[in-house]
Amino acid sequence: MIITLEDTSTAEIGARLVDLREEGGVVALGRVLTLVIIATGDEAETAVEAANRASREHPCRVIVVDRANGRDDVALDAEIRIGADAGASDVVVLRPSGGARAEVDTLVMPLLLPDAPIVVWWPSQPPEVLGADPLGAMAYRRISDVGECEDAIELLAGLGERYTAGDTDLSWARTTLWRGITAASLDGVTGPVRNVTVRGAVARPSTHLFAAWLAAYLDVPTVVEADPVATAITGVDLELADGVISMRRPEGSSVVTINQPGQPEHQIAMPKRPLEDCLMEDLRRLDPDEAYRKSLVDGLPRVQVTTAEAVR
């Protein structure tokens, strides 16, 4: 069910939510956090769909600030979505216009669940300093997604320069499966890794973050080599004294082929992760992610790129 409110206020929205709760249509008890999404137009709907799916693991209140309202006057339109239109959440979509767009934190604060952690997600174009943003300063976790922005790699570097504990990016969650199989392949390896080459799309932040993780934790020269047809990570080579551990997932494939010295070739299913899976992972932990910080701040500046070619 979707309830539309025009020329409304946060007080009226809050009162309507209380009425719905008392009527039994919305159960606020059991909500584990408030997820605030700052988005525009179509991306707002995509983000809500992902949040609805993620809410089945993390019941929450979702507050969406959609900045695409075309009105010139100072006003607030809103929607309350419950039931089938809200997954395991209650969703409030705020559409401020005019000067109200500059008062996002004031609009959101009255609708936050009391005594529940706050997570803020920018599906595209995050603020320059996540932790200094008025909403970001209130949040336990701040989620960006620079892979959906122009100049993604430049923005990623900026996240490292202005990192605040609690920041994360969905590009990091997109590397989780690669990090897992890489760590598993090194289990039992006695000698040091000498060099690392990551192959993939050099315009994708996930490629650089994966390489940065390897650079930070293995402390070896790490190179990103462009795969001209790739839209994601397509492989990694770990050079050892007695050979190379090679992993490949060609563009369009959902299977990783692994070759290790002295072992037969084997394959592992590893499809690309959908948006809701990445969001779900980031909602599982509300404490600062030290592995992300170390990779972004310490590892990323050490990564070398072999070509300026960028394929998005």
Cβ distance 204 to 178 under 8 Å? Answer: no
If asked whether residues 110 and 216 sit together in one domain, one would say no
Q: What's the average model confidence in pLDDT over 193-222?
A: 97
If asked whether residues 204 and 148 sit together in one domain, one would say no
Domain that holds residue 19: 2-169
Q: What's the average model confidence in pLDDT over 126-143?
A: 95
If asked whether residues 62 and 178 sit together in one domain, one would say no
Question: What pLDDT is recorded for position 308?
Answer: 46
If asked whether residues 231 and 256 sit together in one domain, one would say yes
Instruction: Read off the tokens for 5.
Output: 């409110």
| Average pLDDT value over all residues in the chain | 90
Output the CA–CA distances (angstroms, integers) from residue 131 to 36, 125, 136, 160, 167, in the order listed: 14, 15, 5, 12, 7
Provide the domain count of the chain.
Answer: 2
If asked whether residues 154 and 205 sit together in one domain, one would say no
Query: pLDDT at residue 309 above 50?
Result: no
Reported as a pLDDT band with limits 50, 70 and 90, residue 68 is confident
Residue 37 lies in a domain: yes
Q: Where are the beta strands (DSSP E) in 17-89?
A: 33-39, 60-66, 75-81
If asked whether residues 17 and 146 sit together in one domain, one would say yes
Q: Is the pTM of this model over 0.85?
A: yes
Cβ distance 66 to 44 under 8 Å? Answer: yes
Q: What's the average model confidence in pLDDT over 247-268?
A: 95
If asked whether residues 89 and 204 sit together in one domain, one would say no
pLDDT digits (tens, 9 = 90+) for 106-118: 899 999 998 899 9
Q: How far is CA 300 from the centre of its chain?
A: 18
